[in-house]
Structure 1
Amino acid sequence: MSSCSQFLDIQPKGTLLEEVQFSSIQGYQDAMYGVYGTLAGEGLYGGALTAGLMENLAQNVGNLNSVSVNYHINRYEYTNDDVRAHTDALWTQLYEVISYNNNILENLGRTSLSGDVLRLIEGEAYGLRAFLHFDVARLFAADYRRAKAAGKLSSTRGIPYAYHFDLKNKQVYNLEDTYKNILADLDRAEAILSSDETITGGDLTNANYQTHRIVHFNKYAVYATKARVYNAMGESAKAAAYAQKVIAHSSDFALAPRASFTDVVRFPAKGELICGLYAPKFLDWVATTYLATGGGGNVDQGRRLSALNALYASAGGAASIDNRQAAYYRQIDSYTQFIRLLPDRAQLASLGSTRKGIMLIRLPEMYYILAEATYPTDPTAAVEALNKVRDSRGLAPLTTANFSGQAAFDLELMREYLRETPGEGQSFHAIKHFFQPFPSLLGESTKPTEDMVTLPWPELERTYGNH
C-alpha cells in the first residue's frame, strides 16, 4: 500500500528529526506523501474544500434543520460563532499544509541528493504551493476581474503568500502581486515537470513514486491550474492555451462516451481525472454526512427536487436527458439524497483501495474554461467546446442561436458547473467568478453579493497580519 495516507509530524527546521527525515530520497518521498495525506484530511480536500463547506456555500447541498452549523453556512451567516470557527479553521489548515510543503522546498534547496524522484517532488511542491494559495485567494480575497475593471488591483488586499517554513507572520500582498506570485510558482513547476508525461499508468496503491501520477500534482495539473488562474484573471488567450494543452493530451485524458458516463461519476474517473488524492477515509465521512439511515433529519440534503429538475432541464425533449441528475441525486421521501460520491453506505466494505480517493481537477472544467475564453472571438467554437461535455452527459447540442451574448453564455456555463461539479468544491468558485443569480437549496433565485462570496479573515490575522 502506498504511504500516501501517512501524516508526518514535520518538525521545526534544524531538529535532529528533520536531519534524519531529509537524509535520503525516501525521506523526501515520505514527507511529500505526508503533505498529500494532510490535504486529504476532513478539514481540507477530504471534506470542507470539496463535498462539505464549499457545497453548502454553493447551495448544492444543505441542511434545513437549524441545529446544524450547515444551516447557518447555507445562509452565509459569517458572523455566527460556529460558522466563523469553520472558516477560521479552513484558513489555518491551508497555511499549515503550505508550511509543510515549504519545509520540503527549503530542504531541497540545500540537499546534495539528486535524481528524477527529487525533481518530481520539487515540481509538485512548487505547483501545490501555487494551487493552495490560489484557493486561499479564491475564498478570502476579492475577485480579480472585478477589481481590475474598477482599476483597483494594486489597492485591493490580496492574501499572505508564504515562502518559508517558520512561525513568522507572512507578508500580505495586494491582489495583483498575489496572482503574480501564484503564476511564478506555477512557472517553476511547469519547467521542472517538463518531462512528466505518463500520468495514468501504474497502480494507485503502488509505492513507486514515478507511477500513477494521477494522485500527484503532475505536469497536467500544473497546466490545468494555470488555465484556472488565467481564467480568473480574464486572460482569455492564455487560459484557452493551457486548457488546450490538457485537452490535447489524449493519451491520458478523454471525456467519457455518454454510454459510459457512470464510469466517471466517481473517483478515479478514468480518462477525466487530471489530479486527485488517495484518501482511504474520505468515503466514511461522505457516508456520515449524506447517507441517512432514515429520513432527512440532520443530514445534509441535495437541492429540493423541483430545483434540481429546473437546473438539469434542457432543450431537446426525450433525446436530451441530463444523466448527471440521476447519477448525483436520489429522491428519498420528502428530500433528495446526494449520492454522487457514494450511492450506498453498504458499498464501503466492498470498495477496493483504488476507488477511495478525491477528485481535485477534472477534464470537463478545461472544456468550460476553453468555451468561456473563446466565446468573445469565436462563439461557434465556444459552443462546440461546451457541447463536448453536454454530449458526454446525454444532452443534445446547443447552437449560438441559444445565446443572446456573452452574459447569457456565461450564465449557462455557471449552471454547467452547478450540474457537473457537486462534491468537488468548484460550484462556489463559479458563482463568485460569473456573479450571476443562482438557485438556492430550495430553488429560489439568489443574487450573489461580494460579502457573500468572500469569506472573512480570522480576527487574529486581521489584527496581527501584514508583517
Structure 2
Amino acid sequence: MKHIKQLFPAYIFGLLLLFSSCNKWLDVTPKTQVKEEAQFSGKQGFIDALFGIYQNSARQTGYGRNLTYGLLDILAQRYENKSIASTLYAKLSTYQYTDSEVQAVVDAVFTNSYGSIAQTNYVLKNVDNGILDETSRRIVKGESLGMRAFLHFDLIRLFSDIYASGANASTPSIAYLREFTVTSNARVSLGAALDLCEADLKAAEELLSVNQNIDLIPDNQGSTNADLFLQYRQNHLNYWAVKATLARLYQFKGDKVNALKYATEVINSQKFKFVNQSTLIVDPVQVTSDLTFSTEHIFSIYVSDIKLAADDVFKNTVAAGESTDLWSTRTSLNAVYQPTLANHASDIRSTTASKSLWNVVSENIIYTKKYWNENAANVKQRLIPVIKLAEMYYIAAESSATLEDGTRYLNVVRTNRLIPEIPVPASSAALDTEILLEYRKEFYAEGQLWFYYKLKNLATIPNGTATVTMSKAKYIFPLPNTELEFGSSN
C-alpha cells in the first residue's frame, strides 16, 4: 500500500528501535530522540507515528510471522517437520518453553508487542495537544486506544490463564501500560487486565464512530482518495475492527450476550463480503489473485517483505523439506478438509478444490501458497489477515441463544466455502464440535486456531492423525526475565 510504502522519516525508525526494548532506551543516540514538540507539530507527525505502530506489529516477531502463520500455528500442530528433535521447530511443537531458543522466540513476541504498545502511548500522550482537527484527532486517538487494547488482549491470551467465566479473574496476568514510560510496571489480575482492555476498546469505539467507512483493498496500488491516512481502513484498527475485538474479548470472558451483540454488529454492517467463488482467483502469479480472501478482512497487516518471509518457510523456488520449513501432509490436510465426505471436495480452501492455493511437492510435503507474493503489482498478496469475517460468524454461532440460530450462522460460512449446510445438532456440545472443525478449516496459517484451542481448554488437540495431550503449562507462555521492564513480572 502506498501509505505503508512511503519512506518514513529516520526518526520514526529510531523510535521503533527505541521501543523494541526498554533496556536499550538509554543507549539510543540523541539523533534518534526527536523532541515531542517537533514530532507532533503537524498532522503528518501523528500519521507517521501511527503508521509506525502498524509497521512494528508487522515484523516477523509480531503479526508478520510469529503471531499468525509461525509460532502460533506451530503450537497448534498445523505443520509436520518435527522428526529432528534438536530443531527449533521440534522444540516449539513440543512446548519446550525452558529451552533457550524457544525462550528467545517467545520473548521476542513479548518485546515486539510492548514496543508497539509504547508507541500507542507515545501518540496518546500528545494527541490532545490541539494540533489536529477534530475528526483527525478522533481517528488517531481511537486507533491508538484500539491498538493498545488489541495488543494487550493478545498478550493476555498468550501469557495468562483462561478466564473460565470469571473463575480465574484474580490470577496474575500482565502489566497494562497506559502511559509512555520506561519505569517498571506491575502486573495486574486477569480480570483487571480485561477490564482495562474493555475500557480502551469502548473509548475507541466511540471515537472511531466518526469514520465508519471501509475502503476495500483494490487490485492495484491506485486510489482516488487523496488523503492517504483515510485509505485502506482494513489495514488500520478501524471502527469495525474495534467491534470485532470486543466480540473476541466477550467470547474470552464467556459473555455470550455481548459477544453476539458485537459479532452481529460487524456482520450486519455489510462492510465486509465473502469472496465471490465464481470470480475468485487464487493463482499467486495473477495480478488479481486473492489468496487470503481480502474482502473478508476486518483487520489485516500489510507486510512489505512478505515474499522473503514466505519463501523461507513455504517453499517456492528453493529446496523443499528443509528443517525450518512449515508444511503439511496430504493425510493431515484431508483430516482437516474432509474431502471424502459427500460434497466436501468442493471446499474452496482445500487442496482438492483450490489446487492453486497449495504447492504439492509430494504427498508428504504440501505448502500453502497463501503468502506467496509472486506478482509485485498485487497489493493483496502482501496482506496477512488478523481478524476475518468468518470469525464473527463463528462467535455468533457459539453465542446464539438457540441451536437453530447458531447453526444458521455457521452454515453461512459453510455455504460460502461451497460445502453443505449441517442440520441443527442435537446439543450445544455437538454444535461446538462443528464450530471447532470449521476453525481448523478456516484459519490455516493465520494463528487463530491456537487461541481457540486455549479458549476451549482442550485436553487434547489433533496432530496429523494422532493427538497431543495438553495442559495449563503448555497453553500459558512463561513471562520473560524480569529485566524487561515493560510488562515487568514483578
The within-5 A match list for 1:27-426 is 27-64=45-82, 65-145=84-164, 148=166, 151-154=167-170, 156-200=171-215, 208-250=228-270, 252-260=271-279, 262=281, 266=290, 269-291=293-315, 293-313=318-338, 317-318=342-343, 321-326=346-351, 327=354, 328-342=357-371, 348=374, 350-374=376-400, 377-400=401-424, 403-426=425-448
Q: Which residue in 1 is equivalent to 2:468?
A: 446
Residues 83 and 265 of structure 1: is their aligned pair in 2 closer, same or farther, counting only changes over 3 Å?
A: farther
Q: Which residue in 2 is equivalent to 1:431?
A: 453
CA contact (8 A) 1:410 1:434 kept: no
> Residues 359-386 of structure 1, C-alpha deviation per residue, up to 9 Å, x if partnerless?
1111000000000001xx2101101111
Matched residue SS, 1:337: strand
Q: Which residue in 2 is equivalent to 1:465?
A: 488
- Aligned match for 1:8, one of 2, 10, 13: 13
Matched residue SS, 2:418: coil
Matches of 2:437 and 2:217, distance apart in 1: 35
Shift of residue 437, structure 1, vs aligned partner: 5.4
Shift of residue 167, structure 1, vs aligned partner: 1.0
Shift of residue 267, structure 1, vs aligned partner: 6.1
Matched residue SS, 1:338: strand
Residue range with higher mean Cα deviation, 325-334 or 175-184: 325-334
CA contact (8 A) 1:143 1:432 kept: yes
Residues 285 and 311 of structure 1: is their aligned pair in 2 closer, same or farther, counting only changes over 3 Å?
A: same
Shift of residue 422, structure 1, vs aligned partner: 1.5
Matched residue SS, 1:323: coil
Shift of residue 205, structure 1, vs aligned partner: 6.3
Shift of residue 131, structure 1, vs aligned partner: 0.3
Matches of 2:279 and 2:463, distance apart in 1: 29
Shift of residue 319, structure 1, vs aligned partner: 6.2
Residues 442 and 269 of structure 1: is their aligned pair in 2 closer, same or farther, counting only changes over 3 Å?
A: closer
Q: Which residue in 1 is equivalent to 2:21?
A: none
Residues 442 and 165 of structure 1: is their aligned pair in 2 closer, same or farther, counting only changes over 3 Å?
A: same
Residue range with higher mean Cα deviation, 284-293 or 252-261: 252-261
Structure 2, gaps ≥5 residues long: 19-24, 283-287
> Residues 297-337 of structure 1, C-alpha deviation per residue, up to 9 Å, x if partnerless?
22423333222212211685146642312145443225232
Matches of 1:432 and 1:382, distance apart in 2: 21
Which amino acid is 1:104 matched to? V
Residues 205 and 45 of structure 1: is their aligned pair in 2 closer, same or farther, counting only changes over 3 Å?
A: farther
CA contact (8 A) 1:133 1:161 kept: yes
Residues 350 and 95 of structure 1: is their aligned pair in 2 closer, same or farther, counting only changes over 3 Å?
A: closer
Matches of 1:405 and 1:301, distance apart in 2: 37
Residue range with higher mean Cα deviation, 431-440 or 170-179: 431-440
Residue range with higher mean Cα deviation, 89-98 or 125-134: 89-98
CA contact (8 A) 1:130 1:186 kept: yes
Which amino acid is 1:4 matched to? I
CA contact (8 A) 1:307 1:439 kept: no
CA contact (8 A) 1:193 1:219 kept: yes
CA contact (8 A) 1:144 1:175 kept: yes
TM-score by length of 2: 0.86
Matches of 1:373 and 1:304, distance apart in 2: 34
CA contact (8 A) 2:479 2:489 kept: no
Matched residue SS, 1:20: helix
Structure 1, gaps ≥5 residues long: none
Which amino acid is 1:43 matched to? T
Matches of 2:427 and 2:278, distance apart in 1: 32
Matches of 2:394 and 2:280, distance apart in 1: 18
Which amino acid is 2:435 matched to? L
Matches of 1:98 and 1:247, distance apart in 2: 28
Residue range with higher mean Cα deviation, 241-250 or 441-450: 441-450
Matches of 1:161 and 1:18, distance apart in 2: 23
Matches of 2:445 and 2:290, distance apart in 1: 10
CA contact (8 A) 1:411 1:434 kept: no
CA contact (8 A) 2:57 2:112 kept: no
TM-score by length of 1: 0.90
Matches of 1:261 and 1:59, distance apart in 2: 29
Residue range with higher mean Cα deviation, 72-81 or 193-202: 193-202
Residues 442 and 310 of structure 1: is their aligned pair in 2 closer, same or farther, counting only changes over 3 Å?
A: closer
Matches of 2:378 and 2:476, distance apart in 1: 38
Two-structure CA RMSD over aligned residues (Å): 2.7
Matches of 2:320 and 2:381, distance apart in 1: 28
Which amino acid is 1:124 matched to? E
Matches of 1:461 and 1:266, distance apart in 2: 43
